[in-house]
Structure 1
Amino acid sequence: MIVVGGEALIDLVATESVAPPALPDRASRLGGGPYNVAIALARLGSPVSMLSRISTDDFGEALVHGLRESGVDTGLLQRGPEPTTLAVASPGPDGSARYSFSVQGTADRLVVDPGPLPPQVSAVSLGTLSMVLEPGASAYESLLRRESARGVFVALDPNVRAELIDDADAYRARFERWLPHLGLLKVSEEDACWLAAGAEPVAEAVQRWAGMGPSAVVLTRGADGLSVVRPDGTRFDVECQRSAVVDTIGAGDTVQAALLHWLHHNDALGHSAVRAMPAAAWREALAYAATAAALTCSRPGAQPPTADELPSPTLEAGALHSAHGPSASRA
């Protein structure tokens, strides 16, 4: 079982392009980075449970229905009367989205640490607003440290929303304190640039983070593809999969889910297995995630693909233990 912890919210997405001061019509879509990851994992066929606090308002009821409809276990959900977080998403000309948030007193930020997770949990995925907004951020950090200490594979996608971070330097320091507890760090090039704060090139920052604890760091580079950097500094790259981009909402979340699903499907969801993965296996995993993300980008909102829309993630027997490929490069 993979547990995804973090916010579930409503994206208010513009359905038309208008010139200011006119206001566009907006559609309400189920969203939130962790919510999207959970939905994507379920659609791909991984056993997944969502840990969050979700409102009992109409938006919250729709969010819970969406989880159950996709096959996400809701046994770890907490409910409350507080309002649902809202995110106003405005896609740009290239399909990328700009966000503003309504988060004051909302349900998801009041989540409490549930205590030790069930023994069948093999991995935890965290990230986005839930690792910023208190008091929930401290609850998730407590869970991160405790579950990692008992051998659970922890994956983090910071998915930085800088406008909600009051003290950037404090957050950057906190982020680096998480690294020794991670199995997988997935970070976008844009987020890596913000986290590095200009103190070092992104490639050097990613390599440094890879040496601070994670079994692997995956860097998403938009149209330039995906890369993985291992603790020894070796780096493997794949190109992105081309598609007609409607918008990029949920693309990074789909990458996170697809990587975790691929690892789970191939019995590699653990520190030693991830550290030992050879070049060929990593390229298969990254290509699988890139294909899944391209499908998400080809339709409006966060609509991750199902398993039957993707090639099989199954590797040939022994492929995870083959020798490293000759084309490994230094990051």
Structure 2
Amino acid sequence: MIVVAGEALIDLVPQGAGALAGLRPARGGGPYNTAVALGRLGSPTAFCSRTSLDAFGEALLAGLRDSGVDVSAVQRGPEPTTLAVATLDGHGSAAYSFYVDGTADRLFTAPDAWPAGTRAVSFGTCSLVLEPGASAYEELMRTASARGLFTALDPNIRAGLIPDADAYRARFKSWLPSVSLLKLSEEDARWLGGTPREWLSAGPSAVVITQGGDGLTAFTRGGAVYSVPGEQVDVVDTIGAGDTVNAALLHGLAARDALSPAGLAELDAPGWEQLLRFAARAAAITCSRAGAEPPYAFELGGFPDLS
């Protein structure tokens, strides 16, 4: 079981030019998209979050169930659902304005137990910024690591939500000893101001950096570097692409029984290249669709074990 911990929200996505160009509500949030993608790929997945009792909250839970995700660890509350208004540039890349005051996901509290069979836990995005929930997710990350669970982190920086950039950067560094796999975009890496080698020395066994259409690069604790090109596709938008990469990496590692620091260390060059190509292909399919609509396993041909 892979548990994804973090926010679920509603993206309001423009359907044309102009600020009010037919905003369409779509289920989203980085962790939410990762959980949906994992479920569609066929990985046993649970979502750990707090959602509203409103209509948006019900729609978010329905989307998880439809993708085969266990929602028994989802807390509920009467507060409204977080909204994110997307603005798309000419290349389909999205920027967001958030409406987060008093929303349900901010009041998440760390659970006392994990879903049965939990092997890995994934964290990231707004849930690690917005208090008081951020401290609860941080506690959950440290607890997971201390119990020997595989932990994945995608900071997925939303600078507009971070009031003190230096304080966040320091907090990010404090998480690294509790992280097994760090995934981030080129933009995130520039904003954080570090390097893969610096991050690896602080804790993670591997760092994967996404470079948009140019592909993905993995850096390992052992000093190896592996890169694959991006898959060529007609981009509709890039919403959910990075979250799909998260899911594909975790799914692929689970398929190779490599959800552990030792498993990552044993992954050889062909194994890393296969894993990264699988993630690139999955992300390309997501980019070919409007909104965060990650692929199902049948669209990718599965993840064969080459061992």
TM-score between both structures, scaled by the size of structure 1:
0.91
Give, in angstroms, the shift of residue 261 of structure 1. 0.4
Q: Which moved more, 1:109-118 or 1:41-50?
A: 109-118
Q: Does 1:78 align with 2:75?
A: yes
State whether residues 12 and 26 of structure 1, in contact with CA within 8 Å, keep that contact through their aligned partners in structure 2.
Answer: yes
Residue 219 of structure 2 is matched in structure 1 by 229
Q: Does 1:298 align with 2:288?
A: yes
Distance 2:190 2:223 in 1: 19
| Runs of 4 or more above 6 Å deviation | none
Residue 2 of structure 1 is matched in structure 2 by 2
Q: Does 1:158 align with 2:148?
A: no
Letter in 1 for 2:235: V
Residue 231 of structure 2 is matched in structure 1 by 241
Distance 1:139 1:23 in 2: 36
State whether residues 50 and 73 of structure 1, in contact with CA within 8 Å, keep that contact through their aligned partners in structure 2.
Answer: yes
Distance 1:119 1:271 in 2: 21
Give, in angstroms, the shift of residue 224 of structure 1. 1.5
State whether residues 151 and 178 of structure 2, in contact with CA within 8 Å, keep that contact through their aligned partners in structure 1.
Answer: yes
Distance 1:313 1:195 in 2: 32
Q: Does 1:120 align with 2:117?
A: yes
Query: How much is the aligned-residue C-alpha RMSD, in angstroms?
Result: 1.0
Distance 2:25 2:161 in 1: 22
Letter in 2 for 1:66: G
Structure with larger Rg = 1
Residue 325 of structure 1 is matched in structure 2 by none
1:69-218 matches, cutoff 5 A: 69-196=66-193, 205-218=195-208
SS of the counterpart of 1:258?
helix
Q: Does 1:272 align with 2:253?
A: no
SS of the counterpart of 1:185?
strand
What are the Cα deviations for residues 43-64 of structure 1, in whole angstroms up to 9, with x where unaligned?
0000000000000001001111
State whether residues 7 and 30 of structure 2, in contact with CA within 8 Å, keep that contact through their aligned partners in structure 1.
Answer: yes
SS of the counterpart of 1:211?
helix
State whether residues 73 and 115 of structure 2, in contact with CA within 8 Å, keep that contact through their aligned partners in structure 1.
Answer: no
State whether residues 116 and 147 of structure 1, in contact with CA within 8 Å, keep that contact through their aligned partners in structure 2.
Answer: no
Distance 1:178 1:75 in 2: 27
Residue 11 of structure 1 is matched in structure 2 by 11
What are the Cα deviations for residues 118-145 of structure 1, in whole angstroms up to 9, with x where unaligned?
4510000000000000000000010100
Distance 1:286 1:166 in 2: 34
Give, in angstroms, the shift of residue 275 of structure 1. 1.6
Distance 1:267 1:255 in 2: 18
Distance 2:239 2:223 in 1: 31
Give, in angstroms, the shift of residue 274 of structure 1. 0.6
SS of the counterpart of 1:243?
coil
1:25-40 matches, cutoff 5 A: 25-40=22-37
Which one of the candidate residues 218, 226, 242 is aligned to 1:252?
Answer: 242
Distance 2:302 2:75 in 1: 35
Distance 2:115 2:100 in 1: 30
Q: Does 1:63 align with 2:53?
A: no
Q: Does 1:262 align with 2:259?
A: no
Distance 2:233 2:300 in 1: 14
What are the Cα deviations for residues 248-307 of structure 1, in whole angstroms up to 9, with x where unaligned?
000000000000000111111111001221111000000000000000000100000000
Distance 2:210 2:306 in 1: 26
Identity among equivalent pairs (%): 58
State whether residues 255 and 305 of structure 2, in contact with CA within 8 Å, keep that contact through their aligned partners in structure 1.
Answer: no
SS of the counterpart of 1:28?
strand
Distance 2:51 2:34 in 1: 16
SS of the counterpart of 2:39?
helix
What are the Cα deviations for residues 215-273 of structure 1, in whole angstroms up to 9, with x where unaligned?
10000011221000011332110000010000000000000000000011111111100
